[in-house]
Chain A
Amino acid sequence: MVEPVYKRRSVWQGRVDAGSYGKAVAHAGLHVRLLDHAFAASVLCPAGEPATASLGPGQRYSREGVQILPMAPDQFFIESETMPSKECLLRLFGAQATVIDQTGSRASVQLSGPNVLDVLAKGVMIDCDPLAFPAGSGRVTLLGQLSVQISVDAEGVFELSCMRSMAGDMWHWIETAAGQYGIAVGR
């Protein structure tokens, strides 16, 4: 097998390995899954695009295998595990949408575990309690000084992402905020 010339390097590669971090405990209080979405893009639509009328703010939508987070009026950030087809994007965002590839531009993790809310409270500026931020919710907010996107995959399971260049800071936050509970990192 021939080695590829250009080997893709995930943002987490060489930065965090699977394993245990923080306090040595039998059952980690925070489970971290390092994410590596195969595709990401910014989608910019003209004002009043009917195809996106149902994509209001505050939610993260899952449509046809594409995760859609509204970022601003008529602006969306999408992620998926395979490159969506043109037809799919057309259905989701209409014919006038501009799709700008952003694959690899963000560092993402999935957080869960018994202390996930305690950990999130130590940085995320919004109320992550299930009553205020139920499954399916999504926001752009601050994690300390980092601008982050946060969404709830299921109750108690959060996805957090920041700019790729700041991945080190996000991991530093996870280590310091969750160290006392014990951290289990997987892929």
Chain B
Amino acid sequence: MSGFRLAQGGIVERSTVLGFSFDGQKLQGFKGDSLASALLANGVGLVGRSFKYHRPRGLFGAGAEEPNALVTLGSGDRTEPNIRATTVELSAQLQATSQNRWPSLAFDVMGINNLLSGVLAAGFYYKTFMWPAALWEKLYEPLIRRAAGLGKAANLPDPDRYEQGNLFCDLLVIGSGPAGLNAALVAGRAGARVIVCEDDFAFGGRLLSEQYEIGKAGAGQWLAACLAELESLPNVRLMARATVFGVYDGGSYGVVQRLVPEGVVPEAFHARQCLWRIVARQSLLASGAIERPMVFAGNDRPGIMLGSAVRTYLNRYGVAAGKRLVVHTSHDEGWTTAFDAQAAGIETCVVETRDTVHADLIAKAHRFAVRVVLGGRIIDTRGAQGLTRVTIATDRYQEHIDCDGLAVSNGWNPTLHLTCHHNNKPVWDGPRACFVPQHLPQGMRLAGAVTGDFSLKDALSQGWQQGAAVAEDCGFKPAAFEALSCSDDPQEGVSVWSVAGKGKAFIDLQHDVTSDDIVLAHREGYRSVEHLKRYTTLGMGTDQGKTSNVTGLAVMAGLCGTGIAEVGTTVFRPPYTPVAIGALAGAHRDRHFRPTRLSAAHQWAVEQGAVFVETGLWLRTQYVPKSGETHWRETVDREVLAVRAGVGLCDVSTLGKIEVQGRDAAAFLDFVYCNLISTLPVGRTRYGLMLREDGFVMDDGTVARLGEQHFLISTTTAQAVAVMNHLDFCHQVHHPAWDVRMVSVTERWTQLAIAGPQSRALLQRALGQTIDLSDGATPYLACRNFMLAEGVPARLFRVSFSGELAYELAVPADYGDAVVRHLAQPGREFGLTLYGTEAMGVMRIEKGHVAGNELNGTTTARDLGLEKMMSRKKDFIGRVMAQRPALQADDRPQLVGFKPVDPAARMTAGAHFLPIGHPATIGHDQGYMTSVAYSPHCGCLIGLGLLQHGPQRIGERVRAYDALRGLDTLVEIVSPVFVDPKGERLHG
């Protein structure tokens, strides 16, 4: 191909010259060019290599349908592979690189695949790599992985920002051709909220590509006036570079908008792309149609392109697709290409497959001096890296014609992809020879070429009528229909799917699927369209077969001796065109991948040098290293010993806190907890265990009774939301008539655990006379509402997770920071130590308290040694199902403690218990270790675990076998309570 810029014509801004590069070569184009048109204008015909055979390829289309011209834009961390050159708006300094070739586009070593095409036919994966099986991992898979894929990702963090947003409208117009714009105009004028999404960087659709007339002037004037009016309407939003890629439920549409042209670095504070969710009361699909090619030998050479694309380059960009053009057509449309080209000074010849055409076409061809061959077909092409010659054949003769451009026209396929997204299959319309939508997603209408009516007149009138209908449905009064005079499109033609000839004839240009592949699939029984697609990979490239699917189906229909209607079609899924993963992620990346919750005392912990850990969405203090400490274990040991010997402080604000009030609150809590709550006196706290409906443990926590009808329950941090949902469900479904009122107050209170033998002294010093902390006034498990100095409300709970004398002080979050700082002042005198989740974990294991590792959804109260908590005096959630024989079986693993026989030995959570002297098989598995920590108190690792007949086997030894880490440790079964088994420390 030797395309060139015409001296005039097109709608590019010739006064604005833009420099860009392709494979390092410096080139120039104009503002308004696409990358493809600019390449063509510079005579660049070879733009890529095909996926499988690495055949040289050129531009085939001029829009989203392009199968060949996939390029990589940018470099470094802004590298974007697999971008269609046809949809890229040319910008200054745009850097494009060809892909799928080595070492260069002109000389590609992998082009050897073309010589091996006999081996690489459809299904070769399935046949070739069957044996010897041993080579699969060593040779075949690495080879296939190396060969697979198109383009190379940057492998660097994306420096740009992506946004997501939501828009709402009465009418979403998809496509800004004549149908879409006319619909937007009538609905917008009537007052409806209208959004127009255009995939291209310019509005107008085919109006930009054709020499249409509307009214008594060129279509360009109508387009300009229409856009000016739409832009002036405050209720209309025009969105260019916005691709509607998916149709979802409830009138939702997925749209990705390129906020800056590809290859342009966004300004500071601006995003590169935005992923919109547009919710529309109704939508109008005015997506037009894609011209379809013919299949003939050598139909993939650079220089061969769709006739509609040739006209786009000519009329929109002022670029000729070649110096000598042949038009191979079975349709009147192809003649328009010839006339447009010839008028632009390009020598053109029409090779028409039909023997006769309308006399007007012949007359016009004579006027334009276009050579015409009727009843002709192209049976061969020549040219190594660009077309140089075609061979035509008629019934009477064969002839070689030298040319560097070949335009192919074979009718149109409606761009109906979005109509399929709710699994609606299109149907074959025989008279119009194309698939048309049968059923539509709710709220969607059609106008223009997507309906199968391809004329400009139909597009304008359907657009108006559908736009008016939507406006009426939304309560507006649209103006009456105004017919516009316009040029008529040529309409007649036949479908010629395949032309016999020698050599490869390609159907899917991107995936190198040939007509021979379809024949092979048919011969091997893959005749269903779904099998055909998967066996040959027809239509499975990044273009989703926009120019190949229907042709492939037609060829299969021919082989089967049936019609296309009988063969049927596959459906299209979102996305319509590829969507960058960055747009799907939006702002949810890195630290903001998900929200982070911080307690009101977080800043103070930061100042203390705390190291944090994610617990659910919360960041919690994990441990707080002091200078000189070189290992986290050193820090944690110190924190544990400090709490056990003196006093420590831990922020427990993250635990879920739910207020439960109402006349039936006590009965309700009896129902949701397995132990009895209604007997809890006011001013006291009780440990509560909650089961699921299936009898397994759901969560645990404390229940404080603050008044006769007023309870405050706590949940684990991770389960807070699940427990709130569960309680709501139990209330609304099981006992809707009960007077129970619940609300989460987790955010309201900052809660601090103060633990250790000095905790009372410290708190009493800090809180002064505001509360009496003596055993008599505030005994173990007491709870109190009281006021701090200056009237700050507070709550105190004498509960302990560490096993030490301990309190939990709750204050309003607004005062959380002040209170923790206030406690820290006398804390210096008492050696107050801030401790984190690691030390807390060590201390709870030392006390045999269960936590998330044990409350893992597979354990029952009995498994955890908490069977006595299951009340026999009442009904409760999970009671009946917990009685199932399997949950009562004697051999269910039960909670016990473990110590390594050799105190220096390592043991790990997750290790499985095996009897000594038996092989490590599932048949000998007796349970597993749930939690392990180093206990400074015991001077060795200690663990909790679930072991068959565990409580009866204390003193025995078993193996803790961890195949993952290669550990096999002899451990002793011990009581799960390692520290203070009598609980004396709790009382100070």
Contact call B193/A129, Cβ cutoff below 8 A: yes
**Residue of B277, B586, B597, B599 most packed against chain A (CB within 10 A):** B597
Given A163-B747, A168-B596, check contact A98 B812 (CB 8 Å).
no
User: A103 near B: Cβ within 8 Å?
Assistant: yes
Residues of A with C-beta under 8 A to B270: 180
Contacts of B599 in A (CB 8 A): 165
- Nearest-neighbour CB distance to chain A for B821, whole angstroms, equals 9
Knowing A9-B600, A145-B588, A164-B600, say if A104 contacts B814 (CB, 8 Å). yes
CB distance from A152 to the nearest CB of B (A): 15
Q: Is A106 an interface residue (CB 8 A)?
A: yes
A177→B815 CA distance, assembly (Å)? 31
Does any Cβ of A come within 8 Å of B218's Cβ?
no
Task: Give which listed residue, A98, A106, A121, A168, contacts B598 with CB less than 8 A.
Answer: A168
Task: Decide yes or no: A122 and B741 within 8 Å by CB, A7-B818, A129-B193, A165-B618 being known contacts.
Answer: no
Select B279's contact among A6, A101, A103, A127, beta carbons within 8 Å. Answer: A127
Contact of B748 among A22, A102, A127, A173 (CB under 8 A): A102
Contacts A169-B595, A180-B269; A5 near B817 (Cβ below 8 A): no
Query: Which single residue of chain A is at the shortest CB-CB distance from B743?
Result: A42
Chain B residue contacts of A172, Cβ below 8 A: 592
| Chain B residue total in the interface (Cβ 8 A) | 55
CB-based contact B815/A8 at 8 Å: yes
- Asked if A122 contacts B745 (CB within 8 A), the reply is no
In the complex, which of the residues B165, B269, B743 contacts A23, with contact meaning CB atoms closer than 8 Å? B269
A166 interfacial by beta-carbon distance below 8 Å: yes
Contact residues in A for B743 (Cβ distance below 8 Å): 42, 44, 75, 100, 102
> Which residues of B have CB within 8 Å of A6?
788-790, 792, 811, 815, 818-819, 822
Asked whether A125 is an interface residue with its Cβ less than 8 Å from the other chain, the reply is yes
Contact with B along A1-26 (1 / 0, CB 8 A): 00011111111001000000011000
Interface check B662, CB cutoff 8 A: yes
User: Given the complex of chains A and B, what is the CA–CA distance between A36 and B961 in angstroms?
Assistant: 56
Query: In the bound complex, how far is the Cα of B813 from the Cα of A164, in angstroms?
Result: 9
Residue-wise, chain A 156-167 has the 8 Å CB interface mask toward B (1 for contact) of 000000011111
Q: How far is the CA of A145 from the CA of B741 in the complex (A)?
A: 27
User: Which residues of A lie under 8 Å from residue B617 when comparing CB positions?
Assistant: 166
Q: Which residue from chain B places its CB closest to the CB of A23 in the assembled complex?
A: B269
Q: Are B193 and A144 in contact, CB atoms less than 8 angstroms apart? A: no
Contact partner of B268 (CB less than 8 A), chosen from A23, A105, A129, is A23
CB of B165 within 8 A of CB of A101, answer no
In the complex, number of A-B residue pairs with CB atoms less than 8 Å apart: 129
Do B168 and A129 touch across chains, with their CB atoms under 8 A apart? Answer: yes
Digit string of A168-179 for contact with B (CB within 8 Å is 1, else 0)? Answer: 110011001101
B661 partner, pick from A98, A101, A102, A173, beta carbons under 8 A: A98
Considering only CB atoms, which chain A residue lies closest to B794 in the complex?
Answer: A6
Known: A44-B741, A163-B597, A164-B600. A103 touches B812 (CB 8 A): yes
User: Cα distance A145–B587 when bound, in Å?
Assistant: 10
Docked pose: A163 CA to B596 CA in angstroms: 11
Q: Does A53 contact B (CB under 8 A)?
A: no
Is residue B166 contacting chain A, with contact meaning CB distance below 8 A?
A: yes
For A134, what are the chain B residues with a Cβ–Cβ distance below 8 Å? none
Q: A102-B747, A144-B587 known; A9 and B164 CB under 8 Å?
A: no
Q: Is B739 an interface residue (CB 8 A)?
A: yes
Q: Which residue of A lies closest to B815 (CB)?
A: A6
Task: List chain B residues, Cβ under 8 A from A121.
Answer: 165-167
13 A-B pairs in the complex with CB atoms less than 8 angstroms apart: A6-B811, A75-B743, A105-B748, A121-B165, A127-B168, A145-B594, A146-B595, A164-B747, A165-B597, A165-B599, A165-B747, A168-B598, A176-B161
Which 3 residue pairs spanning A and B have beta carbons closest together?
A179-B269, A44-B741, A104-B814
